[in-house]
């Protein structure tokens, strides 16, 4: 979990499902990390909120990768 973050100063929660797929949940969004990144780019382009969200997604991958 990270936050407050992004345009809503909300918390971003990420987790692994039983198939080791990373999911993200924040505000009204819930989906895979890839869907989250796509939505962030569509919604925020390259502004500061996009940068925060995309860095958080990168961190989620590092933390949950199992390496």
Residue 2: pLDDT band (50, 70, 90) is: confident
Q: Look up the pTM and report it.
A: 0.90
Q: How does pLDDT run across 7-65, given as a tens digit for each residue? A: 889 999 999 999 999 999 999 999 999 999 999 999 999 999 999 999 999 999 999 98
- Number of other residues whose CB lies within 10 A of the CB of residue 7: 15
pLDDT value, residue 21: 96
Tally of domains within the chain? 1
pLDDT value, residue 67: 65
Domain range enclosing 59: 2-64
Q: What is the dihedral of CA 39, 36, 24, 33, to 10 degrees?
A: 170
For 57, phi and psi rounded to 5 degrees? Answer: -65, -40
CA-to-CA distance for 4 and 55, rounded, in angstroms?
Answer: 14
């Amino acid at each position: 979990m990270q936050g407050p973050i992004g345009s809503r100063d909300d918390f971003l929660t990420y987790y692994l499902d039983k198939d080791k797929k990373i999911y993200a949940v924040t505000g009204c969004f819930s989906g895979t990390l890839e869907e989250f990144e796509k939505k962030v780019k569509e919604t925020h382009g390259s502004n500061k909120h996009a940068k925060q969200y995309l860095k958080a997604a990168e961190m989620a991958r590092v933390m949950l990768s199992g390496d």
